[in-house]
């Protein structure tokens, strides 16, 4: 046995992984929206990280809970034996909401009010999950909705004792919680979505939004998405939201990129194909022909028609072209990578 292999063996495989055993590819959780997948991973077939934290941040009523439950539904559909543990700090998750989103099973609501309660329950679930043999572990996902609403034990006690003082330990408590949680999620291959509130930074030179709860989530999250929205109407009836999603931080794709996503209020959730026509136009997959879009076969149709029958127009070939376009649009070095691939294929 090699000298360094002996050292690694003494330390133990729980801590050291040889290069031959390091995973080659990032794992993803499909969000249910091709354009959002592209935004956070650089691929229309990707999604949020499969073993890290993704933060969904926005002002009040920007649809953070609706967005999180839409991703939850898609995760459960794609993982028939999987489960979701949903840490609810706002008391916003009710059965009617879940049923309307198409979530009827393998969903566990965990009520937490303080950072300490969340930490204890999250660590306990992950520790028990890791006790199972790896081959027996079924897919699992965490959601914390929301970080901004959690208090601390000290803050709760001060309130009960009518002490009007700010808890200066909260930020450090959150930072420590997420520092350890990030490592546990990575080892367990468990993805997590955290929703959080944003606020305007007073005195900033440019209009700036910041997440609440200190820097703990900011540093621990692999991806941070900021949301804003407008209403989507069918005639006079409001049927959902058009959500603008912007990457504030991303380990897998370019930062400060923005897309629009359609989120329905009913069980349809995230519109899978909304936003793709714009990407197709930008990269020449579709062409503009007056008020129509010209398809690769020369047929001219309205965008509304395309989104009404997406499987008819977003063929396998079109989706492959859009995936290449997403790499160019949303990843660093995308153009260089694509040219290299084309050179290799031509030789």
Q: What is the pLDDT of residue 13?
A: 72
Task: Render pLDDT for 202-215 as a digit per residue (tens, 0 to 9).
Answer: 666 666 677 877 78
Model confidence at 117: pLDDT above 90? yes
Q: What is the pLDDT of residue 342?
A: 39
Q: Give the pairing type, strands 192-200 and 53-58.
A: parallel
**pLDDT, average across residues 313-330:** 97
Task: Render pLDDT for 209-263 as a digit per residue (tens, 0 to 9).
Answer: 778 777 889 899 999 999 987 766 666 676 678 899 999 999 889 999 999 999 8
Model confidence at 346: pLDDT above 70? no
List of domains in the chain: 26-272 (3.40.50.300), 275-338 (3.30.250)
Model confidence at 23: pLDDT above 70? no
Question: DSSP per residue over 5-54, as a string?
Answer: HHHHHHH-TTT---GGGS-SS--EE--S-HHHHHHHHSSTT--EESSSEE
pTM comes to 0.84
**pLDDT, average across residues 156-164:** 76
Report how far residue 1's alpha carbon sits from residue 21's, in angstroms, rounded to the nearest whole number: 17
Q: Residue 340: pLDDT band by 50, 70, 90 thresholds?
A: very low
| Helix ranges (DSSP H) in the chain | 3-11, 34-41, 64-78, 95-100, 115-131, 153-160, 170-188, 216-220, 276-282, 303-308, 310-313, 316-330, 334-346
Q: What is the pLDDT of residue 297?
A: 93
Q: What is the pLDDT of residue 7?
A: 86
Task: Render pLDDT for 262-308 as a digit per residue (tens, 0 to 9).
Answer: 988 777 888 999 999 999 999 999 999 999 999 999 999 999 999 99
Which among 112, 141, 105 has a CA at the least distance from the CA of 126? 141
Q: Which residues pair with 145 in a beta bridge?
A: 88
**pLDDT, average across residues 129-139:** 95
Q: What is the pLDDT of residue 251?
A: 86
Cβ contact 216:147 at 8 Å: no
Number of Cβ within 10 Å of residue 45's Cβ equals: 15
Q: What is the pLDDT of residue 141?
A: 98
Task: Render pLDDT for 38-58 as a digit per residue (tens, 0 to 9).
Answer: 999 999 999 999 999 999 999
Q: What is the pLDDT of residue 247?
A: 95
Give, in order, the Cα–Cα distances in Å from 205 to each of 171, 211, 224, 226, 257: 25, 18, 22, 19, 21
Q: Could you tell me how many residues make up the chain?
A: 347
Give, in order, the Cα–Cα distances in Å from 191 to each of 139, 141, 143, 329: 9, 5, 9, 25
Q: What is the pLDDT of residue 343?
A: 41
Model confidence at 164: pLDDT above 80? no
């Amino acid at each position: 046995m090699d000298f360094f292999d002996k050292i690694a063996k003494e330390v133990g495989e729980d801590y050291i992984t040889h290069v031959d055993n390091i995973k080659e590819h990032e794992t993803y959780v499909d969000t249910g929206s091709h354009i959002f997948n592209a935004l956070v991973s650089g691929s229309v077939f990707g999604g949020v990280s499969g073993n890290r934290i993704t933060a969904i941040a926005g002002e009040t009523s920007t649809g953070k809970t609706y967005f999180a439950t839409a991703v939850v539904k898609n995760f459960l559909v794609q993982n028939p034996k999987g489960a979701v543990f949903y840490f609810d700090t706002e008391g916003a998750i009710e059965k009617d909401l879940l049923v309307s989103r198409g979530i009827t099973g393998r969903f566990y609501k965990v009520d937490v009010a303080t950072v300490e309660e969340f930490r204890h329950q999250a660590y306990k679930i992950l520790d028990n999950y890791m006790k199972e043999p790896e081959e027996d572990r079924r897919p699992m996902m965490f959601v914390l909705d929301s970080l901004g609403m959690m208090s601390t034990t000290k803050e709760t006690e001060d309130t009960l004792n009518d002490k009007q003082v700010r808890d200066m330990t909260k930020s450090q408590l959150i930072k420590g919680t997420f520092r350890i949680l990030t490592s546990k999620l990575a080892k367990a291959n468990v993805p997590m979505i955290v929703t959080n509130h944003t606020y305007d930074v007073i005195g900033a030179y440019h209009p700036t939004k910041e997440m609440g709860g200190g820097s703990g989530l900011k540093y621990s999250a692999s991806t941070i998405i900021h949301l804003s929205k407008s209403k989507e109407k069918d005639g006079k009836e409001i049927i959902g939201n058009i959500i603008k999603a912007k990457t504030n931080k991303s380990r897998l794709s370019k930062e400060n990129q923005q897309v629009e996503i359609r989120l329905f209020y009913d069980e349809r959730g995230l519109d899978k194909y909304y936003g793709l026509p714009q990407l197709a136009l930008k990269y020449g997959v579709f062409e503009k022909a007056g008020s129509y879009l010209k398809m690769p076969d020369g047929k001219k149709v309205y965008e509304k028609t395309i989104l009404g029958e997406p499987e008819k127009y977003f063929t396998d070939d079109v989706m492959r072209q859009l995936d290449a376009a997403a790499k160019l649009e949303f990843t660093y070095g995308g153009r260089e990578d694509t040219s290299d691939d084309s050179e290799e294929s031509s030789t």
